[in-house]
Structure 1
Amino acid sequence: MSPQPDYAQKILIVGAGVFGLSTALHLAKRGYTHIHLFDSQPYHINNYACSPGCDAASCDENKILRASYGDARLYQDLAFKAMPEWRRWNEVLAEMKAEDLPAGLREGVRLWNDCGFLRLSGEGLEESEVATQASFPEGLRGTQYRVSDEGRRRDAEDERIPKTKIDPFGRLERGLAMDGVLDMTAGFVLASRACAFALFLVRRAGVKTWLGREYGTKSLMREGKRVTGIVTNDGEEHFADTTIVACGGWTPSLLPEIEQLVETTAGSVLSIRLPENRQDLWDKFSPDNFPVWSWNMNSYDPNSKNVAGLYGMPRTPEGVVKVAFRGAKWTNYAYRSSATGRQLSYPKTDVDKIPEEAMRVIRSFCEENLPELLDLDLERGRLCWYSDSVDNSFLIDYPPETEGLLVANGGSGHGFKFLPVLGEHVVDVLERKDTEYTRLFRWRDVPEGDPNGLREGVEGWRTLGRQKMVGQEVWRRGGDDARL
């Protein structure tokens, strides 16, 4: 039986990204009254926007919101639980007067857009998609349109789903191989805006926020096996009954306990801004006409140099189109653990280029399917740093033989969609409740083998030190193709 919660205990949360924000929201909702949220970024000023230098994974133009989880039913169910909450946030924002909107948001912009998610493969369905279709609730099977099925394409047309959402790249018209599923339960959320709104809700709920470089966490304070709080960059000590570490890719460098279960890895992201005078492109890439998409998402093979592991988004309200590569998870062994001596991957965010191999894959796909983007300048190239767990499942638990410390980590590139609901389960862990989710997220041993490809270490081919970094000079059509 769980002990009676101490709602008056002092709780520090390190990290104001998705895990930290959601935890703070649900702690306040559950009745905790002494909550402090710390981050080195002045999010109350920069509103989580990428352009001012925000470098957490949560700071992004948009993120995919989907319940396609193969046979991982608990994650599927949690995604379906999050969707109504995202709709509620849309409704709350729609009812707010312009002058009352949180900074970073504007009238008429929805956080959650269910424009559909087109999961494509060259021939046949990927195994993960077959498992997803088998797991989807019976009542939602009608929202799944297989693009190789002429009957289902007609059904989509009858439902007034634009043909461009079934075949946004014109592959069927050109007789090119393509299979996959258009999932109309899915779409995207405007990530930075969503975080800005969540921060607004957190502060309105009475959580004390400590945001800015001086409030970044320098170290944890320990007395024997107990963590007693944190030391911030300004040298101040902040004591706590419970410290929750939720700082994404920076977590392994702060917590030796997590080193073997989580590795910091990066995806490659390109952002292209559509010219204001190209209404044709604004219309084409509008969420009304263009879906979230992925291409051979689980099929990238570095040995064959194939084109796979890609995803992309419709344009943002400002006209930014994002294309990204996650087939290779880049690492940067730039930190040595003071506790174990092990070299750890650490976020390198001061770059505006991506590895040449990522550019080759993205550019090859665009040459065949989105050539118009190659006529436009890149607005930004960047690496998006995630905390990948060894099995892609979240790690939310008290570390063994450590008191006063709770870890909320291992987002593995799929955590953002749960922003409105994840914190409920973090609080359940805090209160030591035994639920199917606290069991799913609990601390585990390092599995045999290498299920997530995270054990190559410093000698692995994915390290940034082994990559040539490229950007604008090879992006545009007619660029220096020989370099790719």
Structure 2
Amino acid sequence: MAMNPNSKVIIVGAGVFGLSTALRLSKRGYRNIHIFDRQPYHNNGYSFLQGADAASADENKILRASYADRIQYQNLAFEAMAEWQKWNEKLAATAPEDLPPGLSPETVLWHQSGYLRLSDHHGLEESERETQENFPPEIKHTQYRVTDEQRRADAKKDGIPASKIDPFGRLDRGLPMDGILDMTAGFLLASRACSFALHLCQNAGVLVSLGPERALESLVQDETKVTGIKTADGTRHSADLVIVACGGWTPSILPQVEDLLETTSGSVLSLQLPNDRQDLWDKYSPELFPVWDWNMGGGYVPYQNVGGIYGFPRTPEGVIKIAFRGAKWTNYSREGSTGQPLSYPKTDAKKVPREAMRVTRAFCAENMPDLLALDLEYERLCWYTDSVNNSFLIDYVPGTEGLMVASGGSGHGFKFLPVLGEHVVDVIERKDTEYTRLFQWRDVPEGKRNGLEEGPEGWRRLDKQKMAGKGQWKATSKL
């Protein structure tokens, strides 16, 4: 059926995909939008420490447009940066009493701190060379190659602290390194950004039902049509369209996507800077320290070298996050529609794989040894969905009227929160654009499929890993 502003739309999932879709539906004039989610985000503010366990619930996320030859994602990221700046301004102009807990007019969601992309050898990674070739000419001056003496001098002239070019002192120590400091990029305060987006949804008239009793129990459907959902409290809710935007839970809800999406996780370590260590607060501040990554271009070899790791400046509260994505862990603990094992989020894990701890500790020992003297605040597995080609899956589900999927964030979706919904609504309205074609339902490719080809036999299975926790973080601890 053709959708119109009076059509009733149910969105299952209040993460980035769901929030962005609701906001843009409202902006397009839709008046009957309802978000459901099992998590009480209105109470926990999307905070992991308060019990939120979605991929969107995080201290911070990278905002960057470095996408090698994927120009559509690059352009969408630059568009998102402009919108994030508007959100900063909108938040600053809102009265404190009109904001949800955890937000104030002084909260800055988008920090343009710079993003330092490094490898442990001379020469740029292929993906970085493609990024530099495809960035618009008018921003080339914002790209500083760290091994280029002239560009380091240009950075100094442009007022960029030397600590952002070489935060780990590798040049002074004669250690191998090459890469680009990209000053168009930076980070987002993720949980607070979601809280603000939820606030904007409610202000726009979107109905929001959160908490365990409002969790999706089942879709209401016959063989070819979905007509609504049933929630855990037994209530049926009718709809003209149901959109499943449930992140890592999506493959277990929609059997149709099992071959296209896989639930995987990265490993996150969080440290709290002591209040009496002003030296560390200064050193790791966004004004002096960039977002960074190390050997993210495929240089990581399991159980051997150090790579696939990234980190952030401190948050306003003094939290430093370091994450490992060299290996994306799977948890084949459920059975799929065909009887084959299905990866499912394991949100109760109290530790991370020892390999993630090894890589993170080894990097810090060489580059940030002061952090190894601190206690970990927490370690966690951050569950999301990988698609077969690393591109989002946003489309009607074939053969089922009234049902859409919006998922497959593949670890890079958060940055698009202010703009992604525009293209989801284009899909809803069946418009033919470069983005609706980019996100459309796809065939399963032969051969390499973003890791999904490994399946249950792969080495990344969580039950094949030895685990490590807080007690194995410090330099004096044994792994």
TM-score, normalised to structure 1's length? 0.97
1:4 is displaced (CA, Å) by 6.1
Is 1:29 aligned with 2:9?
Answer: no
**CA displacement 1:129-185 (0-9 Å, x = unmatched):** 011001000100000000010000000000010000000000011110110000000
Provide the rounded CA distance (Å) in 2 between the counterparts of 1:465 and 1:5: 45
Look up the match of 2:157: 158
Provide the rounded CA distance (Å) in 2 between the counterparts of 1:55 and 1:226: 31
CA contact (8 A) 2:93 2:105 kept: no
Give the letter for the 1:217 counterpart. L
Look up the match of 1:391: 389
How many residues are treated as equivalent by the alignment? Answer: 478
Note closer, same or farther for the CA distance 1:153–1:60 as it changes in structure 2 (3 Å cut).
same
Q: Show the 5 A alignment for 1:85-234.
A: 85-123=83-121, 124-234=123-233
Look up the match of 1:406: 404
Look up the match of 1:420: 418
377, 380, 385: which one pairs with 2:378?
380
**CA displacement 1:371-417 (0-9 Å, x = unmatched):** 00000000010000011001100000012111100110100000000
Look up the match of 1:263: 262
Gaps of 5+ in 2: none
Provide the rounded CA distance (Å) in 1 between the counterparts of 2:300 and 2:88: 39
Provide the rounded CA distance (Å) in 2 between the counterparts of 1:159 and 1:101: 36
1:304 is displaced (CA, Å) by 6.0
Provide the rounded CA distance (Å) in 2 between the counterparts of 1:225 and 1:164: 59
355, 358, 365: which one pairs with 1:357?
355
SS of residue paired to 1:173:
helix
Give the letter for the 1:419 counterpart. L
CA contact (8 A) 2:99 2:199 kept: no
Provide the rounded CA distance (Å) in 2 between the counterparts of 1:161 and 1:443: 44
Look up the match of 1:76: 74
1:101 is displaced (CA, Å) by 2.3
SS of residue paired to 2:172:
coil
1:300 is displaced (CA, Å) by 4.3
SS of residue paired to 1:182:
strand
Look up the match of 1:341: 339
Look up the match of 2:239: 240
SS of residue paired to 1:59:
coil
**CA displacement 1:198-242 (0-9 Å, x = unmatched):** 000000000000100111112212111111111111122111110
32, 46, 49: which one pairs with 1:48?
46
Give the letter for the 2:461 counterpart. T
CA contact (8 A) 1:109 1:317 kept: no
Look up the match of 2:459: 461
Provide the rounded CA distance (Å) in 1 between the counterparts of 2:217 and 2:340: 19
Provide the rounded CA distance (Å) in 1 between the counterparts of 2:223 and 2:254: 15
Give the letter for the 2:407 counterpart. N
Give the letter for the 1:272 counterpart. L
SS of residue paired to 1:457:
helix
CA contact (8 A) 2:91 2:104 kept: no
Provide the rounded CA distance (Å) in 2 between the counterparts of 1:367 and 1:14: 43
The share of aligned pairs that are identical, in percent, is 65
TM-score, normalised to structure 2's length? 0.98
CA contact (8 A) 2:77 2:416 kept: yes
Look up the match of 2:279: 280
> Greater shift after overlay, 345-354 or 249-258?
345-354
SS of residue paired to 2:170:
coil
CA contact (8 A) 1:298 1:327 kept: no
Provide the rounded CA distance (Å) in 2 between the counterparts of 1:156 and 1:40: 47
CA contact (8 A) 1:36 1:209 kept: yes
CA contact (8 A) 2:267 2:352 kept: yes
SS of residue paired to 1:78:
helix
Provide the rounded CA distance (Å) in 2 between the counterparts of 1:342 and 1:26: 37
Note closer, same or farther for the CA distance 1:195–1:303 as it changes in structure 2 (3 Å cut).
closer
Provide the rounded CA distance (Å) in 1 between the counterparts of 2:218 and 2:174: 58
448, 451, 454: which one pairs with 1:450?
448
Provide the rounded CA distance (Å) in 1 between the counterparts of 2:244 and 2:415: 20
**CA displacement 1:79-101 (0-9 Å, x = unmatched):** 00011110001011111222222
Gaps of 5+ in 1: none
Provide the rounded CA distance (Å) in 2 between the counterparts of 1:181 and 1:355: 30
CA contact (8 A) 1:63 1:188 kept: yes
Provide the rounded CA distance (Å) in 2 between the counterparts of 1:14 and 1:472: 35
Look up the match of 2:306: 307
C-alpha root-mean-square deviation of aligned residues, in Å? 1.1
Provide the rounded CA distance (Å) in 2 between the counterparts of 1:4 and 1:39: 26
Give the letter for the 1:261 counterpart. L
Provide the rounded CA distance (Å) in 1 between the counterparts of 2:162 and 2:111: 18
Provide the rounded CA distance (Å) in 2 between the counterparts of 1:39 and 1:49: 15
Note closer, same or farther for the CA distance 1:302–1:234 as it changes in structure 2 (3 Å cut).
farther
